[in-house]
Structure formats: C-alpha cells, structure tokens
Structure 1
Amino acid sequence: MRSTHTLCTLDETRDLAEELKDIRHRLHRHPELAYEEFQTSDFVAQTLERWGYEVTRGLAGTGMVASLKAGSSSRAVAVRADMDALKITEQTGLPYASVMPGHMHACGHDGHTTMALGAARHLARTRRFDGTVHLVFQPAEEIGGSNSGAKRMIADGLFERFPCDAIFGLHNHPGYPAGTFMFRSGSFMSASDIVDIVIRGRSGHAARPHLAIDPVMTGAMLVVALQSIVARNVDPMQTAVVTVGAFNAGHAANAIPEKAHLRLSVRSFDAQVRKQLEIRIRALAQSIAEGHGAEVDIDYVAGYPTVINSAAETELAAQVARELVGDACVIDPFERIAGSEDFAFYLQHKPGCFLRLGNGEGAPMLHNASYDFNDQNLTVGAAYWTRLVERFLAPGLPGQ
C-alpha cells in the first residue's frame, strides 16, 4: 500500500469549499420527496458528466450510478449518497431555506449528496487510485417499509451492473462536533418494523356499555400489555423498542366506537429478537381482543433490517478517518443507534461500512423543522470519501 502522504488531505479539498456550499444550498432550496427527485437527479447527473464520469440513470426511477476508472485494476468500490427530503415545513429562516411548501431537507441528504459530489470532483482531477469507483446516488431512503430506494436499486441490478468489492455510506449525526467520525463494527443501527392493529368491537351508547364491545378499552389494555414484551420477554442483554405511536378511536364522548386503530414502531438489533417481537405482539393482540369479545386485524410490515458493518471494512474506514482528522476526532466503537437506515439492504449483499459524521454540538436533531446540515462538513466529507477510495483502490493490493 502506498504511504499516507500521497493520499488526500483536508487541505486538498479546501479550495472546493465555496463551490460545494453553493451546491448544497441549491439542493436545500429545492427539496424533493421519495421517487420525486427529478430536479436533483438532473442536476447531479449533469454535474458528474461535466467532470468526466460515466453516468447511468434510471435505477429505482430517479437513482443513478456515476463511474470513474483509473489504472488497470479490476477492483471496484462503491460510495452511496441519498437524495430525498421529508414532508416537513422548514422553520430555519435561512436565506437558502426551502422554496417548496411543506418539503424540507430535514435529515441532511442535501449535505450527503454534496459531499459525494465533492469527492467526485477531487477524484476526477487527481485520479490517484487504481480501479473503478462507483458513486451511488439513491432516492427514497426516507420512505421506510419495503419500497425503499436501496431495495429498488438492488432489484434494478445495482451490483450486477456495477460490480464492487465493498460499499460505504454515512449519515450526519447532530450532537457531536462537526468533523467527528463515528464507527461500530457489527450491528450498528436497528431493524425497524411498522405494525397496524385494528380492533373491531361493537359500537353503542356510552350510557349502555354492556350492550357494546368497547375497542377503546381493549386497545388501552393492549397498549399496557405491549410494554411487557421488552421488559419480560426479551433477554435483558439484548436491545429492543416497542412504541405505540398512534391510537385513534371514536369522535364523541357519549358513543362507544366500532373500532380502534393502533400504530406501532418496533426496533431491534438481533434477527431472533426481531422474530420474537412479532410473535409476542401478534399473540397479545389476538388474546386481548378475544378476551374482550373483539376481533383484530394485524398488518405487520417488515421495514429496514439491521445495519451490520463488516469488520475489515469498518477497520479500514476508521483508519482512514484517523489519518485524515486524528484520533481525537474518531469514536470507535460508537454506541448502537436505534434509528434505522436502508443502507442495511446493501450490506446484505456486499461487505461494507456505514458510519456517522458529527453535525455540531447543540445542533437541532434530525427530522426537526429547525435542522440544517453543517457546511463545515462539506470539504471534510469530500476529503474523507476521496481518501477512502484512494486507500481501497491503492495500487499493488492483492487481487490486482
């Protein structure tokens, strides 16, 4: 492997700071929702083509892959950035705030895309690697469930059409200083499932409850019982979350409604625990409903799987960060995160690492109307992705 002084440093991308800031602010002004990233996709593709990349569009609708080859090696690495925004009305008051009513880049995907573009810019002008880099610009990370952008990219032949030896991605992380990198090998971010439970009773007058079957009381009993799953059914050494996020039933004070609707978010880090949670949730919903004379419909939707980082790729990714920003700005291992991420689907097919990058102490949290991506990270992220590609595709590695 080449000596570290020939790899990208922070100083090498500083001249891109204003250009990247302009790009990020442009993307922030024009947020687009899942599978609607038409302007974003056009802009990203045209920019990459101008820099000499071979761009393949149409994966997962608005997704694309930009490829650049240098040298003669058959090795390849992929770097993924997400592009979609959220249905949130921005309240930042920034001069580059969203001009799309009710839409906002409240998760920093504008920054993720811009950092990848920064790396693309620098890789194209230096070409200090031997092999092929595939930059994956993905739609619809925020959509959740089984229709995510990552899953559709894979179904559209991502890894068959663009073979790679590993794939890497990152997400910004408010609450930690900008420029701080966080890593964890193995299970890092949780699986996330959504459960819709509809309890069907018999409507009636509030003054004659004995003639009705009350789905509200049945639902209330179920909400309490669901909390016993993590406390009494899951191994205390494991981590799981069962949250009832919505409970809707009835409209009038003097009427017992016919049905109640509960929505649950279920999170876990272990495949066996994930199965156990589903079994217990179904059993409790069925038994409690039957015990009160009600009927129940359960729609259990498997969402994103657990993000499981491979050991070798995580070690490499962390080493690159240490070389770039120093040991003091690297946390390894970082704590596990109960949030979910569809990058997990890629890691079911390829080795790789998903990491976090601090977005600033005291900064608004993700999915918050006051959130904004930290522009200090733009050149740092561009340098990091560049150096990682140069490390991974260094001349003389085995298999070349």
Structure 2
Amino acid sequence: MTPETPHFPTLAQATRVWARIAALSFGGPAGQIAVMHRILVEERRWLGDDRFLHALNFCMLLPGPEAMQLATYVGWLMHGVRGALIAGGLFILPGALAILGLSIVYALWGGVGIVAGLFFGLKAAVLAIVVQALIRIGRRAIRSRAMAVIAVLSLLAIAVLGAPFPLIVAAAALAGWLGHRAGISGFSGAGGGHGTAGAHVPDAGTVLGALDRAPDRRGALRAGIAALALWLVPVAALALALPGSVWAEIALFFSKLAVVTFGGAYAVLAYVAQEAVGRYGWLAPGEMLDGLGLAETTPGPLIMVVQFVGFLAAFREGGSLAAGIAGAALTTWVTFAPCFAWIFLGAPWIERLRANRGLAAALAAVTAAVVGVIANLALWFGWHFVMPGGRPDPWALALAGLALGLVLGLRWGVMSVLALCAALGAGLRLAGLA
C-alpha cells in the first residue's frame, strides 16, 4: 500500500526545516548533502531519491558550493523565489556569523598563548582532512588514463608553472569537450557526478511528486537578473570609485572566484592561497590553514573560509574591526550572490543542461583537473606546516602524522580529529614545546 502523501508545507513550516538543516550542516558538502537527504527525502518526503539526485547533478554543473545551491534549488521548487532565498540564505547565515566571530577572536588574540596552540593543532587536522578529500575525489574522478593525465598536468601547471586556476579549469573543460567530440572513450563524462543522468519521473508518495503545477520560470529568470545586478553593480562601483583599494581588490577577486569555483572548496583554496598570499599579501600561508580550520569547525559551506580572508585583508588595511567586518560582508556578498543567480537562471533549463553529453565530458575533465589542484594544495599546506622557514618542525610532523592516522587509518570523524588536535596543540604550547 502506498503511504499517504505528506501535506504541502507552508513557507513558515519550510523555513523552520531549512533553519534546522542549516544548524546541522557540518562536515563539508558530503555531510551537508547527507543531512539534506535524510531530512528532505526520508523524514519529510518532500521529494524522492530520483528527484534529489536530479537536483544535485544540476547543482554539480554550476560553480559554487553544491550543497548550498541544492538547498536553494529545492527551496525554489517548493515555494518559488521566496523559498529559494530563505533556503539558501539560512544555509549561509550560521556559518557566516560563526566565522565572523572567530575571525574577530583570531585578529585580536590569535597569537596569544593557548589560542595560538589551538590553531597549531587545527593546522595538523586540516592537513589530514585535505589529504582525505584528495583521495576521495581522486577515486571518483580518475577513472581513465585520460583523466589521470589531466590531473597530473593540472598539478604541474599550478605547482611548477604557477598557472592561474581559471586557466586550468578552462583548459580542462576544453580538453574534455574536444575529447568527447573526438569519440575518445576516456572523455565520455561517465562517473563524474553524484548520480546518473536520466529523464525525470515525479516521485510517487512525495510532496513534489503529487504537486500538479510547474515552477514559476518567469519569476526565476527575473530573480536571476536581479541577483546578477545586485552582484555586479556594487563590484563595478567599487572598481570605478576606489581603484586599487583593498575594497576593489576584494570585490573583483572574489567575484572572479565565484565564476570558477568548480570542484569544491578544496580546489578553490589552492587558488585563494595562490592569489591572497602570493599576489595580494593579505595573509601568510599558515593563516590560510588557520582559516580552513575555522571553516571546518562551523556549519555552512566550507567556502566560507573566504570570509576569513576578506576580514583579515580589510582589517589590516583599515586598521579597525569595523573595516574587517565590512570586508567580511563584502566578501560574503560577492561570493554567494552569484550562486543565487546561477540557480535562478539555470533552473528553467535544467533538463537541457543535464542532457548535454559534451558538457558532462567537459565537467568530468574539470573534476580530474581539480584532483591535481587539490594535490598541490596538500603539498603547499604540508610544506608550510611541517617545514616552517625551510626547517622541519618535529612536533608539527608528529601531530600531522597522528591526524593522518586518525583520519585515514581509524576513520575518525572530522569534528573529533579537529577537537583532539586542537587540544594537543594547546597542550604543546602550554608546555613550551610548540
């Protein structure tokens, strides 16, 4: 007997569910997607597995954090533009507030005693988590000799030649598309997503399966155009009014980042480290590790680490907490406003995008290139943590080895590893050893 279809929730009821999802969205995109599946598919039965994977694969085609965009897309399916804004906004808000508070603590007391020790331990845990992400993504992405070649070339391009991340993404996408056009089996695009593409069949016994109405496509397009304007107009105004200032640099750099953030936060971090540390000098290599540690311990998208970078850049340029807060707000705005634009503009054409085999092959190649970029990130983080100043730090090496053993060997959860390493780092600092 088919279970009774649950009642369609009001916007207020849906808002409470999205707030609950936001509060539980720890553990990076994999954990966040798992939480959403449990609540949206298993508990609430708003949509079924097929439609959930269908929406997730669409979000994988877009630049930006796929978990946040998945929430935005489902919010749009349920309650139109208002539902999308609430679902996506709530997904961002807890992490943004938490990172802002921790950034203030870091700026004021990050180099003091036990606080510095906590961050020393967090760096070891973060290094292990990045290596774990490299292995997981590599297993999913490297399924042919062609994909392995793209990953190796990507690593060499960024590590040896210093090639910018957008160029690597563009070259990989072009290679994937051309390989598909040439009929090379290694460029088929299979296996690049979270599920299999196919025609959508409404899920019986769910809210959306029983809903006999089409989403408001015109409203979505209008909202998408508005989101583009709200993103690009302030960026253009800052670039014209304050050329060369930290505000213009933040607006332009993180806007560019929002367009090329394929492959998840770990891939983007390599680009952020390359530019924010090497080109702009906003922060030091070790501070990038500290920022990622903060992002790992808070809910919301892992890419929220860019808010930490924007805060420090503006704080050090402006010399006040007010400047830092303004920099964090600007970074968050130009990072996530485009995410709403992509969803609103792309949602009405989801079927056409998903059916494009050439696009799937291009994205599979991008995912393979991301493996090389993350490998460079792991090497870069590892070198600056265990070899500060070009000399090995035995305590850093020991703590990193312990973290790797816990994550890869004993398969400890992220939060447990972060907590233990932070405590050990604090203990080493109190003992005068680190």
Q: TM-score, normalised by structure 1?
A: 0.28
Q: Which has the higher strand share?
A: 1
Q: Which has the higher helix share?
A: 2
Higher RCO (Cα < 8 Å, 6 or more apart): 2
Q: TM-score, normalised by structure 2?
A: 0.26
